[in-house]
Amino acid sequence: MKKYFYLVLLLLPLQCTFAQQVENIFIVKDSETKSVSAWQREGIVYVSLAEFAEVLSINYYENPSTGKVELKSNYFLLKTTPRNPYIIVTPRSTGEPKVYQLPTSTYWKNDETLIPIQFTLDALEIILEQELKFESPNKLIFGKKISSPLADKEWMYDVPDLPPTTGYDITGITITEKVNGTLIRVHSKKRIPSYFSSLEDDELTIILRKVNADIERTNRGEISNLIQEIDTRNVGTDVEFKFKVGSNYSTSEVMNVPESNDVIITIHNKVFSKSDQNKKNMEKWEFDVVVIDAGHGGKDPGAIGIDNVKEKDITLGIALKLGNIIKKDMPDVKVVYTRHNDTFIDLYKRGKIANENSGKLFISIHCNSTKKKPSDASGAEVYLLRPGRTEEAIEIAETENSVIKYEENPQRYEKLTDENFILVSMAHSAYMKYSEKFAELLHKDFDLNLKMKSRGVKQAGFYVLVGASMPSVLIETGFISNKEDAKFLNSSTGQNQIAESIFSAIKAYRKYYEDAMEAEM
């Protein structure tokens, strides 16, 4: 569901800020096709919830004065309010409302509540007790029946509708449990200037600087398997959050929420979930497919370096050499290329190829370049998908991302703003630890075995990495704007050395991965 959700998100064109009527959405249920009107706003597609219910003969009630819409199924009620990001789902059996938070609010147009359909699918699946999937941007398919609609869903605990608090900066927290982790939004009235985190003995400490908290509203017990307890204290001029984390803890991250004083703390699960204990699932995770992505190709030459060397030729050369080494020395691992000749492949398709082949590692190969040629900058860099921390890294990502100009539908890519990064990061969170490990092994190997210097592991927002649901890195193998790097990268010896280095990192990584899998299962 999640993987698909991102593809749909990426496929939606970005346009103006007013809702515009677009092509109807076709809904296929029990081999019957129906359609509902659709609107689009800031790249997000909306449908009228009432019309949706009407068309599908779902029992519903619409309050004409408030615009609230309530859907009623046999076992659940689903309530929406106009211009509100919360959807409330209440199981009739318990009567206990669960709040579901959308990344964006519902919309109000022509006296109707419009819901951002792709973000509402999970909640709708619960009340309809059936899988919902977009087959194409405007074709929604009802899939198989869901027997346990409450399992493995994203719930938010505790909407902060507490009475106003005075004298504190931090006024509460909301917790959303996601499939691959937990998201904690810290509500702050004041900008939090900086934060630190550390982990010791199953206790994750996060310090938010120069704010104070109403700790009665931030302390919680018994949250999930992942977080057993949150203990907050005001220490000097700072706030200290201590999370007691369970054995399923993997990594965590703190981020400022754009255009808000809030911060979001994401705490991630391990990749191999405890529920995956049967053999079939073990097989599912086996290290059996490596996806090699030669950057650029066809009409997109990539960077042009000294003596007119083209990035696309070098990346393909390294990719094919690496593939051959894997085939020869790791014959039980299948090699999948996103391209194996000089063709142009859209960035989003590269991730799609990787996912469709159940890749366990995605390696995107590129070359760096500077505007000035020749220049002194030289050496290899390894990149992870995360908000860029340095101007240089952001610039490199922008250069690599700019190739979408060669694509037919470049609007499909959502701009990687901080807010989108929170979503992307959540989707990638489970793999981040593994991506980091591979990046580190690669950097070490480059450092040890390449003549060229290794400039280390960096991070930025590369579209090509967003689409791949697996541990992934992007390698800038060297600067083709530098005389020596260009000569090295354009030579068979140089390309072989780099391929050998990547392969030796893959070998070390595979061992780490398999040990981790054994330990975690």
What distance in Å separates the CA atoms of residue 380 and residue 443, rounded to the nearest whole number? 8
Of 177 and 400, nearer to Zn ion (C-beta) is 400
Report the residue number, 232 or 477, with the smaller CB distance to Zn ion.
477
Nearer CB in complex with Zn ion: 335/365: 365
Show the tokens assigned to 375.
């220049």
In the complex, the smallest distance separating the C-beta of residue 350 from Zn ion, rounded to whole angstroms, is: 12
> What is the C-alpha to C-alpha distance for residues 134 and 28, in angstroms, rounded to an integer?
10
Shortest CA distance to 416 belongs to which of 479, 458, 383, 465? 465
Rounded to a whole number of angstroms, the minimum distance from the CB of residue 450 to Zn ion is 19
CB 36 within 8 A of CB 24: yes
| Distance of closest approach, residue 302 Cβ to Zn ion, in angstroms | 5
β-bridge mates for residue 130, sequence order:
145
Question: What's the CA gap between 76 and 173, in Å, rounded?
Answer: 27
Contact 429, 251 (CB under 8 A): yes
**At residue 227, what is the residue type?**
I
Supply the minimum distance, in Å, between the C-beta of residue 356 and Zn ion: 23
Binding residues for Zn ion, per CB under 5 A?
295, 302, 366, 400
| CA distance to 450, 453, 492, 493, 506, per residue, from 487 (Å) | 14, 15, 10, 10, 25
Least CB distance to Zn ion at residue 311 (A): 5
Closer residue to Zn ion in complex, CB, 295/379: 295
Q: How far is CA 372 from the centre of its chain?
A: 34
Complex with Zn ion: residue 225 or 399, whichever CB lies closer: 399
> CA 73, 77, 83 angle in degrees (round to 5)?
125
SS3 191: coil
Smallest distance, Zn ion to C-beta of residue 295, A:
4
Q: Which residue, 339 or 366, has its beta carbon nearer to Zn ion?
A: 366
Least separation in angstroms between CB 478 and Zn ion: 12
> Which residue's CB is nearer to Zn ion, number 249 or number 479?
479
